[in-house]
Chains A and B, each alone.
Chain A
Amino acid sequence: MLFQTPEFAILLAVTLLLFNLTKNKARLRVLLVGSLVFYGFSGPIDTLIFLAVILTTFILTKELHKTGSKPLLVGLLVLLFSNLGIFKYGGFLYDNVNLVIGSLGLPLLTRPPELWLPLGISFYTFQLVAYSVDVQKGSIECSQDLTEFMVYIMFFGQLVAGPIMRGRDFLPQLRSTLHTNWDDVREGAFYIIRGLVKKIILADALSSLVAPMFENSGTLDHASAWLAAYLFAFQIYLDFSAYTDMGIGLGRLFGLRLSANFITPYLTSNPSEFWKHWHVTLSTWLRDYLYIPLGGNRCSPSRSNLNLLLTMLLGGLWHGASWTFLLWGAYQGFLLIAHKEWTRTVGRSYSIPRGWSVFLNFQAMALGWMIFRAGSLRDALRLWAQALDFSQLSTWGSQLPLLIAVVGLYTLHLAERHIDDNRLAIGDRWRRVPAPVRGLVYAIVIFVVILSFRPAQPFIYFRF
């Protein structure tokens, strides 16, 4: 079920009504039922698998809490990652193992049955892993209440595409009395409408521009390759951050605060800063549960760089079983290492003006998105070859409309930062605007969202 669909609007209305008619623990049960219905739309088998994984984790983590047994934790992690691995990487592994076997002239393995990808599996697996590790370490209190635990994992605001909520941030909220006030409603409505505008008006419109460009990547010239990457950069940002915005807004309607996942990432000046602003909950997860356990930066510079590369490789692979994602992860790893080395050496005596570094960082990220979005490694390399062929600079001349579109999107990005940085002042000024005008603006926004609505396009991150 997608947030921007009528069926979700109906589910939300019913859940909100029941939530406000009940009190205390009953509210948790309302949220659980709402979340079960929400996930149930993805199919009975997906739901059964999900419930089985949740129940197993709940039972085993209770045991972990009592014993602190490391082998039990390892067993649980193997179980969780196996579930993810079978569904997400089984086919990829099979294809590549057979490729190697075939090249050695050995008999090929029989193809396993085709598996689908259960909705949100990457997100809930990471959330469950984080919870299990934290319980074993004793850094969070183990949940003893199944309803509370299920709402923590299943809450529909964050279930399918994050943010990957940590137990320490989310469970205490569920343990206290859930209540909302008008500020929550106002903030919630603001985030939901912002998400709808980003998704329905902007991201979906961009998707119809971007898809044909990447589908015909072989025919793109220098300027078109860059423009395709810029437009996709904004499409994926708007699409994914729209989901998070709506998730945060939905959370607020039920008195829950979800973590921010995006902080205008294309205004960052280097790769390290970018990852503190892009999919924040995934990058902090990777840092806390992969990079630091691998040794982090408490080891030699070369080992620390290797840790970084491995972390980003796995981060890339988390997005999907494909060589393009792996290469994208490697590319991001190299960018982070290069930036780290630059800061350690040249950066001590020389600094690039921030405007230029933001511009260069955006170009570096756009090159990364070419790999990410390309249909295959060959397409990715072809796109890079075109983008880096600076003898074709004249091709920019025929691309003025798309260039204007990119500048427009970047201006919106700047405006978003301005709004986020000055929420209080803007809110104050907004409150002084006459009520009929405010009402009219709300109505126009909702009206444009309704008119822009076409058969719902799933969020890009749903497939991860």
Chain B
Amino acid sequence: MKKYMKSGICFFVVWFLLLEIISRRFIVNHAFFSTYDEIDRLNYAFSRRTIVPEVVYLGSSKTQADVATITIASNLGLPLEAVLNASVAAASPREMLYIYTINEQLFRSARVVYINVDLWMFNKHFQMAEKNGPPAWRRSAGLMERIEFSSDLTTKADWILGWAIATWDQRATWRSLWRSWLRNPWTHNVAPVYDCFGRPVQDYLIGEHPFLSQMLEEEAPQIVNSHMQSYAFNSDALLALEALVFLVRANGAEPVLLKMPAAPQYMEYQRANFSAFDFVWQKLSARFPGVDILDLPSEAAQLERDDWWDAYHLTRVGAMKMAIPLAEDLRKRLGP
């Protein structure tokens, strides 16, 4: 090989390895099940907030839709901004930990932190059917997993290449970070973060009316299957939850693990087909002995069929009803 080619290629390799180190050490930590844009917008909104919350809800689209913080605060006679919903769609404990850590300064004043937990949050292969290996999955998937996990040849080739070149694997994360870096206060403010009930709307459209009420029976299995597909327990998620609980406690707040109800059709289908994964609940109880697990059945809020927007999320009216048992629990914890 000619000398000038050799030197150019050598330096190319050096620069590319540097890029790989950045991808593997830093970029990969921003690979989430939630979209980074959504997390970023929430963080930006929090960075501009001046009133500190007394209560924080961390969770996924489930808590986004179901927890109307303004209604809860009104029910308790608290200032409207005292209760904060800090949920993002498709959040597992890792995403919640990230949001909590970034905004620790703000959340430090909270007296109670509700952490939504559900079975799918501990499924390593969550979202695989929809996204063919989201960046969060790629973050921890090893070579054998990529080879063995069922998919078409094209996707598999993508995964194998991604195992070798992290920059390729995390290109979507790089793009998200790039976009968020390019963003300015003007673009951050374009999309509203909260609706008038204190629910984070963002990209996720929270329906006011039952969207597919008549189709609940049909769609419930689809949603359950997409949540539980190829279930493999994600120990990273458990570690993240431990870290989150530890941090919340260290800041003097009371952590509460919150199990929210899904539509009866969802629950029935999940019980019938995935009861084997109830071990996750047992694992949580055993792992967090001193932490309350608040299990709210749908009866607690007297939810009816039309209160479900789909088989997993509540409508606005449903969220109003759900605010009653949530406020009751909170009243007990906050005391007089």
Q: Which A residues lie at the B interface, using CB under 8 A?
A: 5-7, 9-10, 41, 182, 186, 431, 435-436, 438-440, 442-443, 446-447, 450-451, 453
Contacts and interface: CB of A to CB of B under 8 A. Distances in A.
A6 B9 contact: no
B171 A451 contact: yes
A439 B161 contact: no
Given A435-B8, A446-B16, 13 more contacts: A5-B158, A6-B154, A7-B153, A7-B154, A438-B7, A438-B8, A439-B9, A439-B12, A440-B11, A447-B19, A451-B175, A451-B178, A453-B168
B161 A451 contact: no
B8 A439 contact: yes
Contact of A6 (B1, B5, B157): B157
B154 A182 contact: no
Residue among A6, A41, A436, A440 with most chain B CB within 10 A: A6
Contact of B160 (A10, A439, A443, A447): A10
Interface in B149-171: 153-154, 157-158, 160-162, 165, 167-168, 171
Contacts of A440: 11-12, 15
Which of B9, B11, B168, B178 has the most C-beta atoms of chain A within 10 angstroms of its own C-beta? B11
A47 B4 CA distance: 43
Contact of A435 (B7, B161, B167): B7
Contact of A443 (B15, B165, B178): B15
Nearest to A9: B161
Nearest to A436: B11
B12 A442 contact: yes
B291 interface: no
Contacts of A443: 12, 15-16, 19
Contacts of B165: 450
Contacts of B8: 435, 438-439, 442
Nearest to A453: B171
B143 interface: no
17 contacts: A5-B154, A6-B161, A6-B162, A7-B153, A9-B157, A435-B4, A436-B14, A438-B12, A439-B7, A439-B9, A439-B13, A443-B19, A447-B167, A450-B165, A451-B171, A451-B174, A453-B171
Contacts of B161: 6, 9-10
A435 B19 CA distance: 18
Main secondary structure of the interface of B (DSSP, over half): helix
B11 A6 contact: no
Give 8 closest A-B pairs by Cβ, nearest first.
Answer: A439-B11, A443-B15, A435-B7, A7-B157, A6-B161, A439-B12, A6-B157, A442-B12
A9 B157 CA distance: 9
A439 B15 CA distance: 7
A123 to B, nearest CB: 23
B10 interface: yes
A450 B175 CA distance: 10
Contacts of A439: 7-15
Contacts of A431: 4
A186 B171 CA distance: 26
A107 B324 CA distance: 71
B283 interface: no
B2 interface: yes
B5 A186 contact: yes
Contacts of A446: 12, 16
A206 B153 CA distance: 28
Nearest to A182: B1
Interface in B1-54: 1-2, 4-5, 7-16, 19
Contacts of B153: 7, 41
A439 B153 CA distance: 33
A297 B2 CA distance: 50
Contacts of B19: 443, 447
Contacts of B11: 435-436, 438-440
A27 B4 CA distance: 29
A453 B167 CA distance: 11
A44 to B, nearest CB: 14
Contacts of B2: 182
Interface in B179-237: none
A10 B161 CA distance: 8
Interface in B53-106: none
A439 B154 CA distance: 30
Nearest to B1: A182
Contacts of B10: 435, 439
